[in-house]
DNA sequence: CCGTTGCTACGAAGGTTATCGTTGACACCG
DNA sequence: CGGTGTCAACGATAACCTTCGTAGCAACGG
């Protein structure tokens, strides 16, 4: 493992960085070639490598040697990045209203009954689970 | 009004751009000086002007003369920007699961009973309102 | 042993973001 | 009229994102 953070991962990810983090979160880890294959369009090998090096400088990923190649692993959890991103959106776009955020979300996509049910139970759990810890 | 779009506002906003759009969405419109006053830290007048000009180039805002100054108005609705941002997050960070997004949201903040209730009714409305249009 | 292949490292190019300094226009005050 | 304050326009700057080309290294096949 290497990598001294430059900005500690405080800020959100850029588009390309997010593409790459998304792959690592989904797969758990990846070599440069694996990440590259998992990306949509065709991106140069060195481009992916560079992005991973930048992400490492920021402390978002780490790497360990695997044979001749490096295997990169995310050091920032997706939930943590998601929380930061959601906070930003709810504050700047929805003026602090989570209700508006949710309304926009469900208006934007057609959720199945199943999905709505599960979302409702997320709210139930939040309500019940409060006041304990 | 002026402003031919350069990228049509397809992409999301950067941090600073979002700060400024947030003010315009909240207030409805604003001159350079008004926007500047509404921003948190002290930002230079010309900086705010420049950002508004960039946003105008992108088609996100327009302006009309008001006395000697320009009054800027948002051309992109906050719900539209919010929808785009949420889609990006749910896809890249939560792998398409709105349920995970919602779980992260409610874990991150302590919502009141009132807020939870309103969010639940947003889901109810979504369920009932489906299949018609 | 030598060429090929699969890697990482380095650094540069082009575009964007974010910050202003400076200039010039215009109007108001005294 | 002449100074002062408010405003937009322009250009400069520094940092950062994103893309690679090129080079160098190490292992493997023949």
Is A46 within 7 A of strand D by CB distance?
yes
Nucleotides of C under 7 A from a protein CB: 6-12, 16-22, 26-27
Number of domains in chain B: 2
Record the tokens describing residue B104, joined without a space: 């992260």
In SS3 terms, A61-129 reads as EEEEEECCEEEEEECCCHHHHHHHHHHHHHHHCCCCCHHHHHHHHHHHCCCCHHHHHHHHHHHHHHHHC
**Between A46 and B133, the higher pLDDT residue:** A46
Using one digit for the tens of pLDDT, what is the confidence trace for A90-111? 999 999 999 999 999 999 998 9
> B66 and B116: one domain?
no
Res A128: pLDDT: 84
| CATH code for position B48 | 1.10.10.10
Domain range enclosing B60? 15-74
DSSP code of residue B132: -
Within-domain flag for B81: no
Structure tokens at A75: 């050091």
User: Could you tell me if A78 and A109 lie in one domain?
Assistant: no
Is B88 among the domain residues? no
The C1' atom of C22 and the CA atom of B47 lie apart, in whole Å, by: 14
Domain contains B51: yes
pLDDT tens digits for B105-132? 999 998 999 999 999 999 999 888 765 5
How many whole angstroms separate alpha carbon A63 and alpha carbon A67? Answer: 12
Judge whether B53 is closer than 8 Å to chain A, CB to CB: no
Quick one: B98 and B66 in the same domain?
A: no
Does A83 share its domain with A27?
Answer: yes
Residues A101, A87 within the same domain = no
* Within a domain: B122: yes
Q: Which of A107, A23, A15 is nearest to B13 (CA)?
A: A15
**In the predicted model, is pLDDT for residue B7 greater than 70?**
no
Residue B62 in domain: yes
Beta bridge partners of B73: B62
pLDDT in tens, B73-115: 999 999 999 999 999 999 999 999 999 999 999 999 989 999 9
């Amino acid at each position: 493992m290497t990598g001294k953070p430059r900005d500690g991962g405080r800020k959100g990810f850029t588009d390309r960085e997010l593409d790459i983090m998304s792959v690592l979160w989904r797969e758990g880890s990846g070599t440069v070639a694996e990440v590259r294959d998992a990306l949509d369009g065709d991106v140069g090998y060195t481009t992916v490598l560079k992005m991973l090096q930048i992400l490492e400088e920021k402390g978002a990923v780490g790497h360990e040697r695997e044979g001749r190649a490096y295997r990169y692993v995310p050091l920032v959890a997706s939930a943590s990045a998601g929380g930061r991103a959601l906070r930003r959106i709810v504050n700047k776009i929805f003026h602090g209203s989570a209700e508006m955020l949710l309304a926009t979300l469900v208006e934007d996509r057609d959720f199945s009954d199943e999905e709505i049910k599960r979302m409702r139970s997320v709210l139930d759990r939040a309500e019940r689970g409060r006041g304990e810890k």
